[in-house]
């Protein structure tokens, strides 16, 4: 397991309507560029033993999600690329 020290840049995260619990284990999806290659400076998962070595590419995972979970159509509530007010940028 790994972690983050110092002040967190991302705040007020809700998962299924509940605040993120820093002591809980979550399954995350992210590109291998970010998780394994520290792309965009993301090093929070560096040394994490739980990262699978037999992962699928992010484009394949997205394609599976769109076809298997959404029936091949992106719902209207996801049309706003700014997150339909789900994402708030703080200066």
The pTM of the full predicted model, rounded to 2 decimals, is 0.41
Listing DSSP states for 4-55 in one string gives --S--SS---EETTEE--TTS-------HHHHTT-GGG--TTTT-TTS-SSP
In a domain, 9, yes or no: no
pLDDT of residue 52: 62
Q: Regarding predicted confidence, which is higher, 56 or 13?
A: 13
Percent of the chain clearing pLDDT 90 (strictly above) = 2
28: phi then psi, degrees, rounded to nearest 5: -120, 155
The whole-angstrom separation of Cα 75 and Cα 68 is: 14
Domain that includes residue 19, residue range: 14-78
In a domain, 90, yes or no: no
The whole-angstrom separation of Cα 14 and Cα 91 is: 20
- Structural domains of the chain, count: 1
CA 61, 53, 7, 81: dihedral to nearest 10 degrees? -10
In a domain, 22, yes or no: yes
In a domain, 29, yes or no: yes
In a domain, 26, yes or no: yes
In a domain, 63, yes or no: yes
In a domain, 24, yes or no: yes
Least confident of 14-18, 34-38, 59-63: 34-38
């Amino acid at each position: 397991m790994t972690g983050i020290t110092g002040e967190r840049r991302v705040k007020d995260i809700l998962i299924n309507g509940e605040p993120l619990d820093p002591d809980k284990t979550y399954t995350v999806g992210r590109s291998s560029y970010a998780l394994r290659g520290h792309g965009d400076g993301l090093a929070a998962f560096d040394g994490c033993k739980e990262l699978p070595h037999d992962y699928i590419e992010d484009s394949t995972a997205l394609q599976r999600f769109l076809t298997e979970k959404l029936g091949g159509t992106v719902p209207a509530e996801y049309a706003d690329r700014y997150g339909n007010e789900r994402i708030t940028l703080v200066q």
